[in-house]
A = this chain, B = another copy of it.
Amino acid sequence: MITEYYTPTHVYIGEKAETLAGKIFSEMKTKKVLIHYGSGSAVKSGLLDRVKKDLDEHKILHIELGGVVPNPRVSLVREGIRLSRENNIDAILSIGGGSVIDSSKAIAYGLYDKEMGEVWDFYEGKRVPEGAVPHGVILTLSATGSEMSDSSVITNEDGWLKRGVNTNFGRPTFALLNPELTYTVSPYQTSCGTVDIMMHTLERFFHKGDSLEVTDRIAIALLKTVMDAGVKALKKPNSYEARANLMWAGALSHNGLMNVGYEVRGDWASHQLEHELSGKYDVAHGAGLSALWPAWARYVVKENPRRFALLGEGLFNIQPGADTMKEALETIDKMEAFFKSIDMPTNLRELGINPSEDDIKELAEKASFYNKRKLGSFKVLSTLDMENIYKEAR
């Protein structure tokens, strides 16, 4: 079994990293950039103005398109492609977090598309992107890892379908990671980001089949760092150290490093179950994940308790003993306690939702594409399993 590791994104991490944008575009011989961003925070903080000034100084032309929302919409992507074509844009600059970056990736695919066809085709799997225009990122939120990942998830308002594309062309050309830009991230979003980052590693750690010790050990190193840093960032939002650890660990957790040598690229059932939840109830992704994970973990633990025990030994100093299942369950308890400690929900009640039996049936049916797909690899879940997990998460 061969694993691919490919992370061409040129990363600069440290104070004032965002000030390199103009210089880099200049070296790339970029002529005109689309600056893409979300709500007003990049405007209000003055970051957008600083970036524009920097581009001006490097004689890089630019236009801008804001308004990206969480679960970014294909309508804005289409608008971005149209605008970029009209203005002869040859590169995109994201200022924001995962939603902005994913929206930019979609624009980059569309703009490169020689057929000039419908961009949603890529997300429906009707066509495969053959490239993307260069795309730089100024990151303002540590969570999704999209700044180095191959993934872009877009929502089509026509039917509210949420679909993803994963290709190496989706990996940003460069990413500027200044931890100071995340000092103003709210406590709630900091906790959600912490969970999101952790889950990118956990989803991969729990797989079926062979593992590689070095990847397991790095997984523990990343998780331990993120847990420490999340707690520290809540206590002291402008801790450079805490924000830097969250930021870099966030990128490494989802750039492919955590797949290397694993026979299967993770489980991902918790993510899929959460997608349905956030689709129906509009909950934050990180919060949805922490609300579901303990129920998922207890439901699947007997498939391979050793894997949970290994995690507990690394993260919580649980002493290896004769009773692996006891260790495994203690690990899940401690992970649950950690989520609580950063004010994250560990069940649906705490998430603020109370789905009926019918709601749960509907969630499981949607998650299973109406019995057409199973989820997970650590334990392969049937539609009934999905229902059971939602129920046990209540």
Which A residues are within 8 Å of any B CB, using their own CB?
A: 1-8, 10-17, 20, 212-215, 217-218, 220-222, 224-225, 228-229, 241, 244-245, 248-249, 252, 260-261
- 10 A-B contacts (beta carbon < 8 Å): A2-B12, A5-B11, A6-B10, A7-B7, A14-B261, A213-B229, A214-B221, A214-B245, A214-B249, A218-B218
Q: How far is A213 from B287 in the complex, measured between Cα atoms in Å?
A: 25
Contact (Cβ within 8 A) B2 A16:
yes
Minimum distance in angstroms from A266 CB to a CB of chain B: 17
Contact (Cβ within 8 A) B12 A4:
yes
Q: How far is A260 from B260 in the complex, measured between Cα atoms in Å?
A: 20
Contact (Cβ within 8 A) A214 B261:
no
| Identical copies of this chain, number | 2
Q: How far is A224 from B215 in the complex, measured between Cα atoms in Å?
A: 12
Contact (Cβ within 8 A) B260 A248:
yes
Q: Assuming the A-B contacts A221-B221, A245-B212, are A15 and B3 also in contact, with contact meaning beta carbons closer than 8 angstroms in the complex?
A: no
**Residue numbers in B under 8 Å from A12 (CB-CB):** 2-5
Q: How far is A272 from B307 in the complex, measured between Cα atoms in Å?
A: 42
Contact (Cβ within 8 A) B213 A245:
yes
Minimum distance in angstroms from A134 CB to a CB of chain B: 14
Minimum distance in angstroms from A15 CB to a CB of chain B: 7
**A214's contact among B20, B213, B225, by CB below 8 Å, is which?**
B225
**A14's contact among B1, B8, B20, B217, by CB below 8 Å, is which?**
B1
**Residue numbers in B under 8 Å from A14 (CB-CB):** 1-3, 261
Other A-B contacts than A2-B12, A2-B14, A218-B221, 5 sampled, CB-CB below 8 A, are: A2-B20, A3-B14, A5-B12, A212-B248, A214-B222
The 9 nearest A-B residue pairs measured at CB? A2-B14, A217-B221, A5-B11, A214-B225, A8-B8, A221-B221, A6-B10, A214-B249, A214-B245
Q: Assuming the A-B contacts A20-B2, A220-B221, A244-B261, are A252 and B13 also in contact, with contact meaning beta carbons closer than 8 angstroms in the complex?
A: no
Contact (Cβ within 8 A) A217 B212:
no
Minimum distance in angstroms from A79 CB to a CB of chain B: 32
Q: How far is A218 from B3 in the complex, measured between Cα atoms in Å?
A: 20
Q: Assuming the A-B contacts A221-B217, A225-B213, A248-B214, are A3 and B13 also in contact, with contact meaning beta carbons closer than 8 angstroms in the complex?
A: yes
**Residue numbers in B under 8 Å from A6 (CB-CB):** 10-11
Contact (Cβ within 8 A) A13 B245:
no
**Residue numbers in B under 8 Å from A7 (CB-CB):** 7-8
**Residue numbers in B under 8 Å from A20 (CB-CB):** 2
Residue of B nearest to A6 (CB): B10
**Residue numbers in B under 8 Å from A241 (CB-CB):** 212-213
Contact (Cβ within 8 A) A2 B10:
no
Minimum distance in angstroms from A314 CB to a CB of chain B: 10
Q: How far is A14 from B261 in the complex, measured between Cα atoms in Å?
A: 7
Q: How far is A245 from B214 in the complex, measured between Cα atoms in Å?
A: 6
Residue of B nearest to A16 (CB): B2
Minimum distance in angstroms from A33 CB to a CB of chain B: 21
Q: How far is A54 from B11 in the complex, measured between Cα atoms in Å?
A: 35
Q: How far is A254 from B330 in the complex, measured between Cα atoms in Å?
A: 37
**Residue numbers in B under 8 Å from A8 (CB-CB):** 7-8, 10
**Residue numbers in B under 8 Å from A13 (CB-CB):** 2-3, 5, 260-261
